Amino acid sequence: MHWKNWESLCKPKASGGLGFKDLEAYNLALLGKQLWRMIKKPTSLMARIFKSRYYRNSDPLNAPVGSRPSYTWRSIHAAHKLIQHGARVVIGNGKDTKVWQERWLGTAPVTTVQSVRLRPGQEHDVLSDEMRVSELMEANGRDWRSEKLEKLFTEETMEKILKIRPAGPHSKDTYSWEFTKTGHYTVKSGYWVQTSLLSVQQDN
């Protein structure tokens, strides 16, 4: 007879469980480590091999699983939701970050642009899928173009953008992990996100 289900036993002792590891969540956290390495080290041999096969025109964080994926890629891809929940783009010069598709606004979790301000007669090419964050900046690469922000975004989105301080024209965009002080992904933090945040969302 089973007096407690496995989910209850995997809860921390402070929450009435026995603190056992949720093996599925822990495996995703480990796979997340591999995905994070591919994101942070795009020139590594592993990243270059997968890029040539699965995301030639994208990046590992936004790549689809593709058709007939290998067991390894399918396994790593399973950690996408976990990494996307905590990975944020740190704006450098903004040239590598797409305004509408990347997660670069807000904190924990970071989001894409959620709303825009559309006015009568506004040019459709302004909302191009390929628009880069650098197009929202002044020539010095450190200040935002206020008029353009007011034209494109709602007040809420503008506030989030203005809180960001670009690193300058000579700095490339990079990724940071929201759930550690250092900004580096760890299996421990990934396991916490999977069990404490994502699992709760799935239950609801």
DSSP 144-160: B-HHHHHHHS-HHHHHH
φ/ψ of residue 29, rounded to 5: -65, -40
Residue in 88, 89, 93 with CA at minimum distance from that of residue 135: 93
Mean pLDDT (the chain) is 85
Q: Tokens 């250092």 belong to which residue?
A: 182
DSSP E strands in 27-144: the ranges are: 87-90
Listed in sequence order, the residues at least 6 apart from 182 whose beta carbon sits closer than 8 Å to its beta carbon are none
> CA-to-CA distance for 196 and 189, rounded, in angstroms?
10
Residue 115, pLDDT score: 75
pLDDT tens profile 2-32: 666 667 666 666 666 666 778 899 999 999 9
Listed in sequence order, the residues at least 6 apart from 11 whose beta carbon sits closer than 8 Å to its beta carbon are 17, 18, 19
* Cα distances (angstroms) measured from residue 82 to each of 41, 43, 46, 91: 19, 23, 20, 21
Q: What percent of the chain stands above pLDDT 90? A: 46
> CA-to-CA distance for 61 and 87, rounded, in angstroms?
9
Q: How many CB atoms lie within 10 A of CB 102?
A: 23
Residue 125, pLDDT score: 47
pLDDT tens profile 55-90: 988 889 888 998 899 999 999 999 999 999 899 999
> CA-to-CA distance for 96 and 167, rounded, in angstroms?
13
Rg (CA), the chain: 20
> CA-to-CA distance for 73 and 146, rounded, in angstroms?
42
> CA-to-CA distance for 63 and 77, rounded, in angstroms?
8
